[in-house]
Amino acid sequence: AQTVTQSQPEMSVQEAETVTLSCTYDTSESDYYLFWYKQPPSRQMILVIRQEAYKQQNATENRFSVNFQKAAKSFSLKISDSQLGDAAMYFCAYRTLNSGYALNFGKGTSLLVTP
Amino acid sequence: NAGVTQTPKFRVLKTGQSMTLLCAQDMNHEYMYWYRQDPGMGLRLIHYSVGEGTTAKGEVPDGYNVSRLKKQNFLLGLESAAPSQTSVYFCASSEVSANTGELFFGEGSRLTVL
């Protein structure tokens, strides 16, 4: 089974600064999807960014970008120009071909943004 | 757009009581999922369905049952609730095609078992 590891339970960043959240995964598949979801205090799960494994180019969405290292099985999220609204739990997830394409989630990283 | 709707949003049960969580999606998605979220554990898959009339077990299925009688609805049942089932439950859905891979989530249902 695929496992997703987020080694940072908590991170803190100052407003306007840059922060990187780490994620590693374990898989024997060659084609798959990776995701970062954001969960603010409202509890809603919000898709931040998605990466297809067959694409070498790192995905970007405005202030959010990833560093995808397929050989190292690493998928980190970089948040630039951090804003107070970025404060949330961030979950890294792997989409498996088993279990009806369900997502396997890491345990999450709680991001605090300070003024 | 409603997307994925879960009812109820909150519920308190006594040990041994039963209840059903309802998930409804209006996006005509084939695949639906039930997850539970516990502090420090992320989201764990309980059951899933790949189409109307089909269900399958996920990572943590014990103590739960599910049904998918209609394509748009996915029900999660607790026949005899236990305190260990105190959690936040999320329903999600996705398209059959793996081109996007995205799951669309409901807002969650907080269940407390006393």
CA distances from A70 to A24, A29, A94, B4, B27 (A): 10, 11, 13, 32, 33
Q: For B73-92, what is each residue's pLDDT tens digit? A: 999 999 999 999 999 999 99
- The residue among B103, B109, B110, B111 with the most chain A CBs within 10 A of its CB, best to mutate, is B103
Closest B-chain CA to A106: B42
- The residue among A23, A33, A99, A109 with the most chain B CBs within 10 A of its CB, best to mutate, is A99
Percent of chain B with pLDDT over 90: 88
- The residue among B23, B43, B59 with the most chain A CBs within 10 A of its CB, best to mutate, is B43
Q: For B60-78, what is each residue's pLDDT tens digit? A: 999 999 999 999 999 999 9
Q: Which residue has the tokens 């409202």?
A: A42
Check pLDDT > 60 for residue B98.
no
Tell if the CB–CB gap between A101 and B98 is shorter than 8 Å: yes
Tell if the CB–CB gap between A95 and B88 is shorter than 8 Å: no
CA distance A37 to chain B (A): 10
Q: Cα separation of A100 and B32, whole Å?
A: 9
Tell if the CB–CB gap between B48 and A102 is shorter than 8 Å: yes
Contacts of B33 in chain A (CB under 8 A): 100, 102
State the pLDDT at residue B1.
62
Question: Beta-strand (E) ranges in chain B?
Answer: 4-7, 10-13, 19-25, 31-38, 42-49, 56-57, 65-67, 73-78, 87-94, 104-105, 109-113
Q: Cα separation of B50 and B33, whole Å?
A: 9
Taking 50 as the pLDDT cut, the residues of chain A under it are none
Closest partner residue to B31 (CB to CB) among A47, A91, A100 is: A100
State the pLDDT at residue A98.
74
Check pLDDT > 60 for residue B9.
yes
Q: For B34-51, what is each residue's pLDDT tens digit? A: 999 998 889 999 999 999
Tell if the CB–CB gap between A99 and B45 is shorter than 8 Å: yes
CA distance B81 to chain A (A): 23
Buried b (16+ CB within 10 A) or exposed e, A72-107: ebebbbbbeebeeebbbbbbbbbbbeebbbbbbbbb
